Amino acid sequence: MDIIASIRAEALRLGFSSIGFTEARLPPEARARLDAFLAAGMQGEMGWLADRAAQRAQPKALWPEAVSVISLGLNYGPEEDPLAVLAQRERASISVYARNRDYHELVKSRLKALARWLLAQQGGELKVFVDTAPVLEKPLAQQAGLGWQGKHTNLVSREFGSWLFLGEIYTTLALPPAAPETDHCGSCRACLDSCPTDAFPAPYRLDARRCISYLTIEHRGPIPEEHRVAMGNRIYGCDDCLAVCPWNKFAAAHSEPAFAPRASLDAPRLAELAMLDDAGFRALFTASPVKRIGRDRFVRNVLVAIGNSASPALRATAQALAEDPDPVVAEAARWAAGRLETA
């Protein structure tokens, strides 16, 4: 078996769904597009996207010794329609990626296992990354042949649709590069038209400040009023643009026990979530990515969903939080109670 075939076999054995190889180099367009995104302020409060833009846009600027990049994908395709819960207005929609364990740990442990194996087989030096490092993961994955950056800006795979988590191994080994994947969006614009907050100023461009994923996870302070109604009951992340992609019909559901929705996070009741104190919040979201946003930001999101529920029964829940010690929670509670009064 040649080196590429044996790395591929080991990656699949470790549980990765997809793998590709590319040079540790991105074309100047990647930097230009990142700069245009930042110049327009579309990163909002994610200042860390700008802080290390040079390293993000060019692998060798992050690690000069890097020669090749191994790009890896892990399928997290849902077993059921992830948008079905949006119609259940007294319940919460938590995005597919956050309904159980944090994917970062799983992907990282597999990247490390593959890296150890590769070191033993071939030597060289390497570094592993998933999500949080200054790495443009999607353009690298496209270059490595895993898929293409769709109009919703995420990587779409012919085999796994929009449901791949990405991770990388940068290595000093010279590995033969794969052919980059080409764009198969064609005239489709399903993702662009599905966005509740109109977050795409143009195909392939996302204004993060309007994206519900950003608003519910990254944004501190009150959620701008102009987006609250469109959020519906999405309280952590959003899957609309991913879920409508026609390439998902070729995808199989994931086979990871760690990604099967926990019963308590599968359409939980808004009334119960709103009443969580700090300890209750931490206990419910043990090992979940949701834990990162903390009780206050989480309850803020839940209150926006309560305001959108059109359920008079939830008005008392909102009112009970109107004097919350956290001013952002208190403001969201008053907004929700006011909406339900009108309802």
Active site residue ranges? 131
Stretch that binds ligand B12, among 12-20, 133-141, 273-281, 289-297 (CB under 6 A): 133-141
For residue 76, what are the contacts with CB-CB under 8 A and spacing of at least 6? Answer: 96, 97, 103, 163, 164, 165, 254, 256, 259
For ligand B12, give the closer residue by CB, 133 or 322: 133
Query: CB neighbours (10 Å) of residue 3?
Result: 14
Q: Is 154 in the site for ligand B12 (CB under 6 A)?
A: yes
* DSSP bridge pairs for 168: 71, 129
Structure tokens at 322: 């109107």
Q: If you ran DSSP here, which 8-state letter would residue 276 be given?
A: -
Q: Which of 30, 302, 321, 333 binds ligand B12 (CB under 6 A)?
A: 30
For ligand B12, give the closer residue by CB, 181 or 324: 181
Shortest Å distance, C-beta 214 to ligand B12? 4
Q: What sign does the dihedral 90-91-92-96 (CA atoms) show?
A: negative
Shortest Å distance, C-beta 320 to ligand B12? 29
Binding site for ligand SF4 (CB under 6 A): 150-152, 156, 185, 188-191, 194-197, 199, 206, 211-213, 238, 240-241, 244-247
For residue 129, what are the contacts with CB-CB under 8 A and spacing of at least 6? Answer: 111, 135, 137, 167, 168, 169, 170
Distance CA 329, CA 341 (A): 18
* Residue 179 Rama label (left phi>0; alpha psi -120 to 50; beta): beta
Q: Is 204 in the site for ligand B12 (CB under 6 A)?
A: yes
Residues forming the annotated binding site? 56, 131, 155, 166, 185, 188, 191, 195, 211, 213, 238-239, 241, 245
Residues forming the annotated binding site for cob(II)alamin? 56, 131, 155, 166, 213, 238-239
Residues that bind ligand B12 (CB under 6 A): 30, 33-34, 37, 46, 49, 95, 97, 130-131, 135-139, 149, 152-155, 164-166, 204-206, 208, 211, 213-214, 217-218, 237-239, 241-242
